[in-house]
Amino acid sequence: MSVGGLFDLTGRVALVTGSSAGIGLALALGLGQAGARVVLNGRRPDKVADAARTLRHEGLSVYEMAFDVTDSAAVKDAVETIETSVGPIDILVNNAGMQRRAPLEEFAEDTWHELMTVNVDSVFYVGQAVARKMIPRGRGKIINICSVQSELGRPSIAPYTASKGAVKMLTKGMAIDWGKHGLQVNGIGPGYFKTELNQALVDDRAFSDWLIARTPSRRWGELKDLVGAGVFLASDASNFVNGQIIYVDGGVTASL
Catalytic (active-site) positions: 160
- The backbone torsions φ and ψ at residue 47, rounded to the nearest 5 degrees and listed phi first, read -70, -35
* Nearest to 93, CA basis, from 181, 2, 167, 10: 167
Tell me the C-alpha distance between 202 and 144, whole Å: 25
Question: CA 163, 19, 177 angle in degrees (round to 5)?
Answer: 50
Tell me the C-alpha distance between 57 and 161, whole Å: 37
Give residue 39's identity as a one-letter amino acid code: V
* Nearest to 146, CA basis, from 234, 244, 25: 244
Other Cβ atoms within 10 Å of 119 Cβ, number: 25
Give residue 210's identity as a one-letter amino acid code: W
Provide DSSP, 161-172.
HHHHHHHHHHHH
In DSSP terms, 91 is beta-bridged to 14, 141
Non-local CB neighbours of 11 within 8 Å, separated by 6+ positions: 35, 36, 37
Question: Do residues 238 and 232 lie in contact, with contact meaning Cβ atoms separated by under 8 Å?
Answer: yes
- The backbone torsions φ and ψ at residue 76, rounded to the nearest 5 degrees and listed phi first, read -60, -45
